[in-house]
Structure 1
Amino acid sequence: MKKGKRYQEAVKLVEKSKLYDLGDAVAILKKSASAKFDETIEAHIRLGVDGRHADQQVRGAVVLPHGTGKTVKVLVFAKGDNVDKALAAGADYAGGDELVPKIQNEGWLDFDVVIATPDMMGVVGRLGRVLGPKGLMPNPKAGTVTMDVVKAIEDVKAGKIEYRLDKANIIHVPVGKASFSEENIADNFNALMNAVIKAKPAAAKGQYLKSVTITSTMGPGIKLNPIKFGE
């Protein structure tokens, strides 16, 4: 695929073999993010673990101090009073069994995060084949299976993101927008890195942070020095 002129210009700002400090990398990203929309800043962290083993899974959630810059649509599965509480707390949608056919049969997926109370997981489980591949299944580790729907919604709306390994043992998550200040992007990135390092499984051997890259939607990846983040 041929890359555009804007991308070619951005690539010139990055030395391929260099491992950058976070501050320098963010400054380059801000300079190179010149698309007509507010580009998302993403982190890609390759870990020295084997996610096929349960004791080497890395998964959790972290609230980014400055949010993601994205308006997040939240769907809550709950019963009774919790439906009203969820809507009052800012959930975009809330309900129970009646939502299952809408998602299963009509392909309705107009939401970014799904939260469920524990007593609704039997219902939500029926949607595993639809929600699972899209990374939308509620999970206790991510704080999205809880009786405290109000706090869960507030956290998500404030910038809580979930991180998990893909099949190649890489974590891909947004850490802000190109319009954010350099300090705010760095704060968010450091909050994510601290959470990932804390989540290091006891079974992980050798180098945990294999590579750490930061990029914008349309820009080149900039490699950071993993040693700078400690372990």
Structure 2
Amino acid sequence: MPKHGKKFRNASDGIDRFNLPVEDAIKLAVDKAYAKFDETVDVAINLGVDPKYSDQMVRGAVTLPNGLGKEVRVACFCRGDKEAEAKEAGADFVGGEDLVEKVKEGWLDFDKAVATPDMMAKIGQIGKILGPRGLMPNAKTGTVTMDVAGAVNELKAGRVEFRVDKAGVLHAPIGKVSFGAEKLIENFRSLLDTVNRLKPSGAKGTYMQSVAVATTMGPGFRVDPVAARKFVES
């Protein structure tokens, strides 16, 4: 069993890291961050769903009120007038078939992708490249749309896409340690509210079974599931 380093142990020893109120879990995660870089604060939510059933898949996106604290490079696959619209909105890379060919050749210097519906047949040719990297545009997350300006603006502002994994766990970032606890709590509320609203009709029993908050290098702090549900409802 791997052993944690001294800094990790110092950050976690002697602290109750379980069944915490939301505010306490986030404040502790921030206070105990020890890396020399500005760590990302991540949330893991264990949902009472079985993703192998289509009616229990949880997938969506949320624009965090305080952003993510990082520059997001957006590629927009579109044609004609939409190219100018995407560029004006701040897309870093814009093009149609030429951009598709570039990806085929191995270019992937972007973090998010937006596409107009008429480009999806072409993008299907690079689906095996984009899909495993989480870069495939999808109508369910609002990245396949004619409103390319709106989609680009949201991604630049700190839009987070999430999808439950095979084990029923959803992972998502909510910002940087440098944000401070107050802004992170606001972002956390937006994420939790969105996940709660996406509860599948096929899900039975307790939906949010456990919630944990952790920085990139730091220990995890478990939120009391009951407190998490009340936090969303408040």
Question: What TM-score bracket applies, with the shorter chain setting the length?
Answer: over 0.9
Q: Secondary structure at the match of 2:75?
A: strand
SS at match of 1:174: strand
Alpha carbons 2:8, 2:219 under 8 Å: kept:
yes
How far did 1:4 drift?
A: 2.2
Q: Secondary structure at the match of 2:146?
A: coil
Q: Which residue of 2 aligns with 1:139?
A: 138
1:45 paired to 2:45 = yes
In the alignment, residue 4 of structure 2 is paired with which amino acid?
Answer: K
Task: Provide the alpha-carbon RMSD of the alignment.
Answer: 1.3
The ranges of structure 1 where at least 4 consecutive aligned residues each deviate by more than 6 angstroms after the TM superposition are none
Which residue of structure 1 lines up, in the alignment, with residue 225 of structure 2? Answer: 226
Aligned counterpart, 2:202? 203
2:179 aligned residue: 180
Identify the residue that residue 151 of structure 1 maps to in structure 2. Answer: 150
Aligned to 2:115: 116
Task: Using the TM superposition, give the Cα deviation of residue 226 of structure 1 relative to its aligned residue in structure 2, in angstroms.
Answer: 1.4
Query: CA shift at 1:136, angstroms?
Result: 1.1
Give the C-alpha shift of residue 131 in structure 1. 0.9
Match of 2:94, SS? strand
1:13–1:28 Cα contact (<8 Å) kept: no
Equivalent-residue separation in structure 2 for 1:104 and 1:169 (angstroms) = 32
TM alignment of 1:59-74, pairs within 5 A: 59-74=59-74
1:138 is aligned with what amino acid?
P
Q: Which runs of 5+ in 2 are unaligned?
A: none
Closer/same/farther in 2, CA of residues 198 and 90 from structure 1, 3 Å limit: same
1:169 is the counterpart of 2:168: yes
What secondary structure, in the 3-state scheme, does the structure 2 residue paired with 1:157 have?
Answer: helix
Aligned residue identity for 2:94: A
Q: How far does residue 70 in structure 1 lie from its aligned partner after superposition?
A: 1.1
**Counterpart Cα distance in 2 of 1:13 and 1:174:** 26
Deviates more, 1:80-89 or 1:4-13: 4-13
1:109 is paired with a residue whose SS is coil
Q: What is the match of residue 190 of structure 1?
A: 189
Would you say the 8 A contact 1:51–1:165 is kept in 2? yes
1:32-66 per-residue CA deviation (whole Å, 9 max, x = no partner) reads 11211000000101111011111111111111000
1:225 positional shift = 1.0
- The 1:219–1:13 alpha-carbon spacing in structure 2 relative to 1, beyond 3 Å, is farther
Aligned residue for 1:98?
A: 98
Q: 1:14 to 1:132 in 2, by over 3 A?
A: farther
1:88 maps to what in 2? 88
Tell me how far 1:13 sits from its aligned partner: 5.4
Q: Which amino acid aligns with 2:131?
A: G
Number of equivalences: 229
